Structure 1
Amino acid sequence: MQLTVSKFAKLAGTTVRTLRHYRQLGILVPSQKNENDHHVYINEDFKRLHEIQLLQSLGLSLNEIKASLDNPQYSFDEIVRVQEQSLKHRRKAIDCSLALIKRIKWLKEKDQFNELNSELLMLLMNSMRVEEDQKKLLQKYVSTDIIEKVFPEDISKQTYLDEQLFNLVLLVHRATIHDLKPDHPSIQQQLKVIIANTQLNHLILHDEEKNEELYKNVKPYESLIPKHTIDFLTEAFEVLNTKKQSSI
């Protein structure tokens, strides 16, 4: 049986436009020509089309499908195995993204005075986004217990620490608006409370060499934070540490 593109499309439940696109990509080319030298589809082409549609349903792109079908070692079982791993990876990424959005939405609800602008939201989201990388980095320097305190898996603890991060971001934001310097008493007091509440003091190592190494390793993450925020917090922490040392 020989079928024109329109008849084949109708029987296959697809469109002429789709078939022409498949032909341009080279993943489904009509198998024969009729007496008028026009390309026509035959029964075997239905099998190829169904294979393409099946691979699409598994999440493969048309370029990936073409590469697979053109491969002499093509194995449907192997494609299913690889695609299963790929989909699991994507699902994990989607779940992480949804969890991140949920955390940000919760902070937005806490923002009673609508202070969270786009810059602050991006700062918070970027900080949350790299948490897993930071956990892996810290494994070399501190115990698992300390990492759990700084980046807890427990949702209620995580929510609490998100609020402290929110407070830290707003601290700098408000200080900028009201022209308060890092050494201002109210800034120092709020910073002291936030550090106590977030267990950040556990990340200050007693080994000076390791402290330097840790600082160098976290340096790349500074690009996620506006320079004025880094400068402000750096000075504020230095003032706080100086006061702490002088009181000992």
Structure 2
Amino acid sequence: MEKEYSIGEFAKLTGITERTLRHYDQIGLLKPSEYTEHGHRKYSNASIAQLQKIVVLKFLDLSLAEISEHLKQPEQNFLKTLAVQANMLEEKKEQLETVLQTIARVQSTVSESKAVDPDSLLILIHALKNKEARNQWIDEHATGSVYNKLHAYTAQLELDQEMTVWTSKMKRFIQEGKAPHDSEVLDHVEAMISFMKPMVEPLLDDEARKQLMNNEGSFQEPNPYLFPSAFNEEEEKFMEKVVDELISSKINIDQDES
């Protein structure tokens, strides 16, 4: 007589949990060979053979739905299934390598010694994930005016450690309820301007400076998906006030010196 196993025995024999076996039963993937009069599941050697197929197909990364379809059509060309699965796994392998490279880039960009909020890290990862599309957008919009040219360059700075850490600190100032005229806030903005100035100034030839002075040329708004703002609407308004305060303080200093 063919040996029968209770669900507990079958789980112990195969290494598959009872919970998984019940799930397979519920979705029709692996039905017990029979149910006792009290509704208990019984499995047979044929159940072992069926489970072996399921485990192998799952190892090949087929979904449970795909496994179910395959088991219903055992006559289908399995070599073709393997070829399709190999192509899909190659694509997944490339994706995983990209993810690992992105994680490594983020870890090297932002050290644990620097306090960075999770949202800033997610924006950095989003930028790295879409780097190719971002570069294409920049190439298409970098010409035409000095504003587009400046944005094309400064957009690349978003991937810099200094910018990520700076953004996190500014958001922390806002969360702490600091005012736009707070000296720490103004110093922080001025520090970023000082950081960017030597990088941006070489882009400003005489013609570019003339455009800026005369407010000439248009600005192509960046794709909001590819270039998401690190600040929400309320934080953006706060930043505008900070810049206004900084400009005002500079004007007052110049007048005092005069």
Instruction: Using structure 1 for the length normalisation, give the TM-score.
Output: 0.59
* Residue 66 of structure 1, CA deviation: 1.3
Structure 1 pair 219–132 and aligned structure 2 pair: CA distance change class (3 A): closer
Is residue 128 of structure 1 aligned with residue 125 of structure 2? yes
What is the one-letter code of the residue matched to 2:3? L
Larger radius of gyration: 2
State which of 236, 246, 253 in structure 2 corresponds to 1:230.
236
- Equivalent-residue separation in structure 2 for 1:124 and 1:10 (angstroms): 43
Is residue 9 of structure 1 aligned with residue 10 of structure 2? yes
What do the CA deviations read for 1:63-118 (whole angstroms, capped 9, x no partner)?
Answer: 3321332357744333333333444444444445445554258635232xxx54xx
Task: For structure 2, list consecutive stretches of 5 or more residues without a partner in the other structure.
Answer: 36-40, 143-148, 251-258
Is residue 110 of structure 1 aligned with residue 113 of structure 2? yes
Is residue 41 of structure 1 aligned with residue 25 of structure 2? no
Q: Tell me which moved more, 7-16 or 50-59.
A: 7-16
* Higher RCO structure (Cα 8 Å, ≥6 apart): 2
* Residue 240 of structure 1, CA deviation: 8.7
Is residue 139 of structure 1 aligned with residue 141 of structure 2? no
Instruction: Using structure 2 for the length normalisation, give the TM-score.
Output: 0.57
How do 1:67-106 and structure 2 match up within 5 A?
Answer: 67-71=69-73, 74-102=76-104, 103-104=106-107
What is the one-letter code of the residue matched to 2:234? H
Give the RMSD, CA atoms, in angstroms.
4.9
Residue 166 of structure 1 is matched in structure 2 by 165
Task: For structure 1, list consecutive stretches of 5 or more residues without a partner in the other structure.
Answer: 153-157, 244-248
What do the CA deviations read for 1:10-48 (whole angstroms, capped 9, x no partner)?
Answer: 896345835454333222335689xxxx976355x5443
Q: Tell me which moved more, 71-80 or 232-241.
A: 232-241
Identity of aligned residues (%): 17
Structure 1 pair 229–79 and aligned structure 2 pair: CA distance change class (3 A): farther
Q: How many residues align?
A: 220
What do the CA deviations read for 1:204-224 (whole angstroms, capped 9, x no partner)?
Answer: 9x8955x33x43x22685476
Secondary structure of 1:139's counterpart equals: helix
